[in-house]
Amino acid sequence: MFIPQSYSLAIILCVVTMLCWGSWGNTQKLAGKSWRFELFYWDYVLGILLFALLLGFTLGSTGENGRGFIDDIRQADFRNMLNSFLGGVVFNASNILLVAAMAIAGMAVAFPVGVGIALALGVIINYIAVPKGNPLVLFIGLGFIVAAIIIDAVAYKKHSASLQRVSKKGILLSVSAGVLMALFYRFVASSMATDFVNPEPGKLTPYSAVFFFAAGVVVSNLLFNYLLMKKPFEGAPLSFSDYAKGSIGVHLTGILGGVIWNIGMSMSILASGKAGFAISYGLGQGATLIAALWGVFIWKEFKGASRPVNTLIFFMFIAYLAGLALLVYAGT
């Protein structure tokens, strides 16, 4: 199977993760013009599973290092399969809340608050479990990122107040999503071998771990999203007949969103072998910056903002960039 052999390549894969995790939300925005996010989400999780299978049977089944995709699944201990599966369940719960927040409050708010919290807590959790990298530099970088989260929340409050539409529900959903999202990566990481080239018996390698993770997302979605359709955060209840009314283009947009997100997840897991789980996860969650850029400059979610609000947004970007640069430096 393909395995990154250098720290520099691992960082490049983390950047790919950042771009993918920060950009998949655009598919929800595109579909959301005529399609409720609860309906979008069925196609999104299908895209996650399809890409996990595609990657497993391609990069996961070629090369001489490690174990092949099918062989790795056959030898895996049930406990490790379950941990990775549970990671998918926890992620799905958090991501549904994030998508709901995005539909209510916009990308420029949901991502910096929700994913920012997930980044800060997730890096701490993963570093405690597997210490790798300079802790002082790592946590100073986290401090900058937390500052960026606070700045973004202040900017949103000021801008929303001027428009008389502060969405407390959107902020609450973002915070709830962030706390849950901080936990999912550790479940997946705990199921994996410490050495991808010569993996321990019973442990998962990246491709099988991503597959069981995707299975957890799909299975849990049968419950989570069904309940959400019947008891939505906003709007009238939905049924599967509403889903059946979607056009091919709308369904493909949702699948594309899942594929984009799982490209990011897969690259992050692959990068963790050289970069460590804390740095790999932390850099990937720099997606917050990418999503904020989309929200501000493409979707115009802060259109008409006052000069003080625009100044806050500028400092938010600076703080995020400083924090991400320190996370990279922490692993050198």
Report the 3 state secondary structure along the chain.
Answer: CCCCCCHHHHHHHHHHHHHHHHHCHHHHHHHCCCCCHHHHHHHHHHHHHHHHHHHHHCHHHCCCCCCCHHHHHHHCCHHHHHHHHHHHHHHHHHHHHHHHHHHHHCHHHHHHHHHHHHHHHHHHHHHHHCCCCCHHHHHHHHHHHHHHHHHHHHHHHHHHHHHCCCCHHHHHHHHHHHHHHHHHHHHHHHCECCCCCCCCCCCECHHHHHHHHHHHHHHHHHHHHHHHHHCCCCCCCCCHHHHHCCCHHHHHHHHHHHHHHHHHHHHHHHHHHHHCHHHHHHHHCCHHHHHHHHHHHHCCCCCCCCHHHHHHHHHHHHHHHHHHHHHHHHCC
Whether 195 maps to a domain, the answer reads yes
Query: What is the pLDDT at residue 54?
Result: 98
Most confident by average pLDDT, 146-150, 192-196, 212-216: 212-216
Does residue 81 or residue 114 have the better pLDDT? Answer: 81
Q: List the domain range (segments joined by +) for residue 27.
A: 7-330
- HSE-CB at 54 with a 13 A cutoff on CA atoms is 12
Whether 2 maps to a domain, the answer reads no
Quote the number of domains for the chain. Answer: 1
Does residue 148 or residue 190 have the better pLDDT? Answer: 190
CA-to-CA distance for 331 and 126, rounded, in angstroms?
Answer: 14
For the residues 35-45, what does the mean pLDDT come to? 93
Whether 128 maps to a domain, the answer reads yes
Q: Residue 165's pLDDT band (boundaries 50, 70, 90)?
A: low
Whether 245 maps to a domain, the answer reads yes
Query: What is the pLDDT at residue 185?
Result: 93
Whether 18 maps to a domain, the answer reads yes
pLDDT more than 70, % of the chain: 96
**pTM assigned to the model:** 0.86
Query: What is the pLDDT at residue 167?
Result: 64
Whether 1 maps to a domain, the answer reads no
For the residues 213-217, what does the mean pLDDT come to? 98
Whether 178 maps to a domain, the answer reads yes
Q: Residue 202's pLDDT band (boundaries 50, 70, 90)?
A: very high
Query: What is the pLDDT at residue 162?
Result: 58
